[in-house]
Structure 1
């Protein structure tokens, strides 16, 4: 590992291989005027794509402090127009997630890693689940505890102490791409997964059709907050190294529309002349999302090319 006063250059965080190839340079979507471009590289051995160099652990927090970065709608004092659309889609998504999980396991005990303000856990709790969450943001933790009366650990994932507690389901909804050592995180939490339990991981897919179409303007690059960019083959490798097995994948339908629309807005912000054709670009975003979803059906790629993918993992040896 090579360090300077802000960034660190690392070998592949999955397989530790040091031979890497450049893949793409992308901007920070909240600092387009700054001109800095972050490097996405790909490991020549396991094909994992990741940010390199990346902000050091003691420097990354400033990239989460931009006023436009608002991952927790419930704690916002003011909402913008798109926030209401996102809030509505989130409600639908939460219901969809619960039904999907309950098709695979019976109601039991669930841990949500990076639980935010707790809307998902609250929904699960109202449907009979015993819930717990892990969250690093103090405002989100306070809201989840006070508003929903949830059991939420205020902790970094690496430092969490769950004693010998076991869970039937452990979820990561767009969280694993933010952590520094994904294999070690999954190893740690595997010890808290019941023998027949289910681990659910949702993450963007940089090999999707919409990612290819939007290139460096694809919003889900989200550099430098997204440190990793997963694909099904790489997730299979990560699972194996963590003592888990990848048992299935599923596309996240709404993410395609969100990623395409936000990518168009990102492009408009960078190329101001496009603001005169915003309605056309919005229509294009919907079309690209629908094409991306169609391409991600079993007829074409069996979900492997979806804009975002849900991965289902189990402990090795469990059925």
Structure 2
């Protein structure tokens, strides 16, 4: 249910199309919805950019090299997180796995890994290191009920059409005591409020939904699933601020972006409103 009388922000697609979209608050759950949303047939065209880093392993410039360095640190932290769960078979499904970096490190640490990735190029790269265990989106329908100890979505939920249907699928695939791990940007963070319509993590229209802590809890309460804890992603404030500077001032100001990201993280220590958050969500046994 949307409140069509209220526009939170108007935001431009700086990456691909240059088109403008509105962010409309959802009155029931509290997230923001990108409006209008591209049709399923047209959505893929908004990802057709050489700069979409998650679909490539290239390191063509300093920015991409920095991205991959930080990603390697983050991968180790993500592995430590899922290893902390009480998992029976260590069976993992990573939805939107990109080029398979997280699946690879999990596989090398005794996890039975499966991935879903709609991008053909990224999926091909992932399958080279994951023993052909990465599939197209349609595979979700044929996966067995209650078959995974852990399901992860690292900056993926905001991209998925038909949000309610997706959440029902996660619920179906998780074991009764399984864990869902979701990382998404937080539009109530300091850097989001500072950059406003230039905030890079809005990334319209590829990001169809924009979440806060309250909206994630509200959404999953409806599926009888509970947010057990949140984990900050402190690097995101710097990365997002750097891109936001590019959109706002037509240049990447490293110094200004660093101080905005630093201030965002300092403020978040008290408020909990980090630029991005990982949500650890427990399935109900009922």
* Change in 2 beyond 3 A, CA 1:20/1:153: farther
1:316 aligns with 2:284: yes
1:240 CA displacement: 1.6
Q: Secondary structure at the match of 1:59?
A: helix
TM-score, L = length of structure 2: 0.93
Distance 1:50 1:64 in 2: 19
1:40 aligns with 2:23: yes
Is 1:69 the equivalent of 2:41?
A: no
Contact 2:103 2:115 in 1 (8 A): yes
SS at match of 2:69: helix
> Deviations 1:65-121 (Å, cap 9, x if unpaired)?
1333332232x4x62221111011111100011112222334711110011111101
Q: Aligned to 2:96, which of 114, 118, 134?
A: 114
| CA-CA distance at 1:163 after TM superposition | 2.6
Aligned residues between the structures: 285
CA distance in 1, matches of 2:81, 2:207: 26
Which residue in the other structure is 1:11 paired with? Answer: none
Over the residues paired in the alignment, what is the CA RMSD in angstroms?
A: 2.0
Runs of 4+ in 1 over 4 A off after TM superposition: 17-20
1:239 lines up with 2:220 in the alignment: yes
Q: Is the 8 A contact 1:183 1:239 kept in 2?
A: no
**How far apart, in 2, do the equivalents of 1:70 and 1:140 lie?**
10
Map residues 246-265 of structure 1 onto 2, 5 A cutoff.
246-265=227-246
* 1:9 alignment counterpart: none
1:240-290 deviation digits (Å, cap 9, x = unpaired): 222322221111111111111111122232xxxxx5xx6xx3112111111
Aligned-pair distance for 1:20? 4.9
The alpha carbon displacement at 1:182 in A equals 2.0
Taking structure 1 as the reference length, what is the TM-score of the superposition?
Answer: 0.83
Instruction: Extract unaligned runs of 5+ from structure 2.
Output: none
Q: Supply the distance in 1 between the matched residues of 2:2 and 2:228 (Cα, whole angstroms).
A: 26
Question: Does the residue aligned with 1:245 lie in a helix, a strand or coil?
Answer: strand
Computing the radius of gyration from Cα coordinates, the structure with the larger value is: 1
1:134 aligned to 2:119? Answer: no
2:33 aligned with 1:50: yes
Within a 5 Å distance, the mapping from 1:1-319 to structure 2 comes to: 16-17=1-2, 19-31=4-16, 34=18, 36-74=19-57, 76=58, 79-106=60-87, 108-156=90-138, 160-164=141-145, 166-269=147-250, 275=251, 281-297=253-269, 300-301=270-271, 303=272, 305-317=273-285
SS of structure 1 residue aligned to 2:238: helix
Aligned residues of 2:184 and 2:278 also touching (Cα < 8 A): yes
Tell me if structure 1 keeps the 8 A contact 2:146–2:176.
no
